[in-house]
A and B are shown apart, each in its own frame.
Chain A
Amino acid sequence: MDFTWKIGGAQGEGIDSAGEIFALTLHRMGYYIYAYRHFMSLIKGGHTNYKVRVSSKQHRHRGDMLDLLVAFDQRSIDENLHELKSGGAVLYNAGAFEPKFPGDVDIVPIGVPMQQIAKDHGSIVMTNMAAMGASAALVGLDPSAFDDFIAERYGKHGADVVESNRKVVRAGYQAASEVTSWRAKLPELSPESRGKKRVFMHGNDAIALGAVVAGCRVVAAYPITPATDILYSLLKLLPQYGGVVLQAEDEMAACQMAVGCNYAGVRAMTSTSGPGFSLMTETLGLSGVSETPLVIVDVQRAGPSTGMPTKTEQGDAFQAIFSSHGEIQRIVLSPATVEDCFYDIQRAFNLADKYQCPVIVLTDLALGLSKQTVEIDDIDFERIKIDRGELLTEEQVKEIAKNGGYKRYALTESGISPRALPGQEGGVHIAISYEHTEEGYEDETPLHRVAQTQKRIRKMSTFDPAEFGVRRSGDAAPDLLLVGWGSTIGQLDEAREALKAEGYTVGHLHLSVLYPFPSQAVKEAIESARTVLVVDNNAFGQLRQLIQLNVGHYEHVHDCRKFSGEPYKVFEIVTRAREVLAASKSVKEVG
């Protein structure tokens, strides 16, 4: 069983820190946490909330419902009440506002003067701490549970600040204990889970950590929501290894810088979101034709244009796959989990070096910013070995120089031309954005054009997208096959279980590679199912269209699309699945 908690208020009221303290405290106790931040593109005011799903097993989404809502203002009630379970409670900041509820809802309002408590025992900025204490009382948690974390977070401000925060927590606890008998229960912790050391991170953290493990030593980027956290993590990590975070003047420069470092032999990447990716697309072509490795992380947000910077969407699949004028080789990965983020970024660097082409790692806001509990063993630093591909040593270059000279774009059987690095004697060469000869000389004759294009196509022939990019779970030859990609894996897992409980056989195919497309695996899975539902967190059904493009048209393939800027809820997928199952049944009966 789960417990779900949400705290809401205006931006600038410490909602995020309260949420994080609550989440991390329970995480350390041994619970599996999934934390979801709802925020807006402004600094003060508006509405922000932080939802924490507390569970005794690992989940990969925030949960559809809510047990306890902590509301600092009326807007927090208005925007979140629909999520509250029947019989759930609203803990509101009594005295700060007079809460209004619709007449017909079965909920328990609990008024605790959190702001006043904060003022009395510390200061008004500690209102969130009073909320912590009150929440603890309602879920049967000892107020001392937050003590360590408060010391960690506020210790730098002095012992008295730590002490006041702790006092406010206890006063909040006391007040809530007295004012209501409503109680929620935290899930049962198994003895082996109790206090077990696990990792609490989001996709952006995992990308940063994975990059450093992969030997990435430069990140060049321009700040953008929701990708900036990757920079923050790397600012802590890279200098430990002599690495560099370069804040570029714009995304064009950032991406060109990543190319420059890779050309010089240092693994480098850039991280961005849709609007930044749009500016980088010219450099995709440069990486492609100059055959310079490049890794781009696109933490997708709701577009188009500026779109909704703080909302999630899987809207950039087409852009990742098709952008850039002309035709280039590339690889597009779409990690589904935090662990995937950690490994896929490492794979991305290996693939970029091996195939000397751009590799795009597509995550999204929901995966990038939702902190969650991950098993330590699932962040294995040695699973993916650094493989620099056909990178020549100085000795090899000298040998080649003696035997006729080094050619950067040599027409090899594999299509991969070994790379020399600038600085290597005998390896002097031209890397170039124009079409070129084997030597890298600018050239427009059909002879070289065709040979070089064929070479670039040929080099990808050994890439097998099914090798790591396809997950299949659930029933074989099912009534319904759910197909998804990227961050929706958690909701799809739970939707599969829910539909199975209704008596259907259900399979789940999940893709973490979108290009080159794993056509064979998708085709087999689709053809084995009676009905197929392709789930996209976008309006155009981009995966659904990719399937049609790469595998073909099937009458029994349907789409499920959501484009509100919010991640899926399980019931939305289940509802749509029932529709298509019912339709396919009636067609069958008629037929």
Chain B
Amino acid sequence: MASAVSVKEYRGYAQQPTWCPGCGDFAVVAAMQRALVNLGLKPHQVVAVTGIGCSGKFNYYLGANAFNSMHGRSLPVAQAIKIANRDLVVIAAGGDGDGYGIGVGHFIHACRRNIDITYVVMDNHIYGLTTGQTSPTSEKGFKTKTTPYGAAEHPIRPLPLALASGCGFVAQGFSGDVKQLQGLFEAAIKHKGFALVNVFSPCVTFNKEQTYDWWRENLVNLDEREDYDPTDKAAAYKVVTETNGLVTGIVYREERSDYQDELPNYDPKPLVYQDLSQPIKDREKLLKAFM
């Protein structure tokens, strides 16, 4: 697509990040800006919705429209924005605590509801903004301020959870590979329906176990495996089980109708631009139902 947009436009609106130097989230913003530019999307056509946490600041630094909701509540707001104005590109973003802890109920339902938005989770296996407590994706035995004897709970595995919840686009990236990440974001935005991109985004300050080097050593890049078919759901389950979720690339994709398709009489013209005066003209008809 010939693009009349540049990253500069986004940077013009973006604030100066306050993330720690080396934080994985820088790469996520950079990859998203490039993806949006590559898709020819201008900042005013995009809304990024976040909750709370270090990665909840994603949209301050992205430079598109931003709605910053409360902890765990990015997805309900993001889905509603898309229903209100289907012309907008809506991206929800947040961390593993926001998305898989306090907001996990919304995540599961967003997967099955399948409203056409993209959800980016910056997964660092730790609570960063509150200075280092265990997260829902922390490995069992992981020592943090709230788990001095090691985490007792089994971690949430986002990819199988998304697959089981009916998510039609499941991908995973790594902050150490911005180019792949950009491609995943583009594919996720283009996907019709709810799309998850889980991003391993290291916390250099509070997580000394899952470091850039650790991820590089352990991740399997599915994009490099010619025999992998991301439309095969059984294969997707198999690979995330075998690798314990340590993969990157598009894990699963499925073409299907989205929530908007299922709505009766939902117009291609966004709701926000609809004329509101019709019910007043229909008074007689509407009151008849109550006689």
Residues of A whose CB lies within 8 Å of any CB of B are 28, 197-201, 205, 209, 212-213, 215, 217-218, 220, 236-237, 239-244, 246, 248-250, 252-254, 256-261, 263-268, 282-283, 285-286, 290, 376, 379, 381-382, 386, 421-434, 440-442
Q: Give the chain B neighbours of A212 by CB distance below 8 A.
A: 279, 286
Residues of B whose CB lies within 8 Å of any CB of A are 13, 15, 42-45, 47, 49, 52, 57, 59-60, 63-70, 73, 75-81, 83-85, 87-88, 105-106, 108-109, 263-267, 271-272, 274, 276-280, 282-283, 286-287, 289-291
A235 and chain B: residue at smallest CB distance? B264
Q: Which of B52, B77, B84, B276 contacts A256 (CB 8 A)?
A: B77
4 nearest A-B pairs in the assembled complex, by CB-CB distance: A260-B80, A215-B276, A264-B84, A256-B76
The answer on a CB contact under 8 Å between B65 and A256 is: no
Q: Which of A254, A282, A376 contacts B70 (CB 8 A)?
A: A282
Q: Which of B59, B73, B81, B105 contacts A430 (CB 8 A)?
A: B59
The answer on a CB contact under 8 Å between B291 and A200 is: yes
Known: A260-B84, A264-B88, A266-B271. A253 touches B279 (CB 8 A): no
The answer on a CB contact under 8 Å between B64 and A428 is: yes
B113 → chain A closest CB, angstroms:
9
A284 → chain B closest CB, angstroms:
11
The answer on a CB contact under 8 Å between B272 and A265 is: yes
The answer on a CB contact under 8 Å between A260 and B78 is: yes
Give Cα distance in the complex from A336 to B288, angstroms.
24
Give Cα distance in the complex from A242 to B15, angstroms.
37
The answer on a CB contact under 8 Å between A286 and B279 is: no
The answer on a CB contact under 8 Å between B47 and A422 is: yes
Known: A258-B80, A266-B84, A432-B68. A239 touches B264 (CB 8 A): yes
* 8 residue pairs from A and B, CB less than 8 Å apart: A218-B80, A237-B279, A252-B73, A257-B76, A257-B77, A421-B85, A428-B44, A433-B69
A442 → chain B closest CB, angstroms:
7
The answer on a CB contact under 8 Å between A260 and B279 is: no
The answer on a CB contact under 8 Å between A256 and B69 is: yes
Known: A260-B81, A433-B69. A253 touches B106 (CB 8 A): yes
Known: A250-B105, A422-B88, A426-B44. A386 touches B60 (CB 8 A): no
Q: Give the chain A neighbours of B69 by CB distance below 8 A.
A: 256, 259, 286, 433
Known: A253-B109, A282-B70. A218 touches B84 (CB 8 A): yes
Give Cα distance in the complex from A386 to B63, angstroms.
33
The answer on a CB contact under 8 Å between A241 and B105 is: no
Given A249-B105, A430-B66, 5 further pairs, Cβ under 8 A? A218-B83, A242-B266, A259-B69, A266-B83, A379-B287
The answer on a CB contact under 8 Å between B109 and A249 is: yes
Give Cα distance in the complex from A382 to B9, angstroms.
45
Q: Which of A200, A254, A265, A427 contacts B290 (CB 8 A)?
A: A200
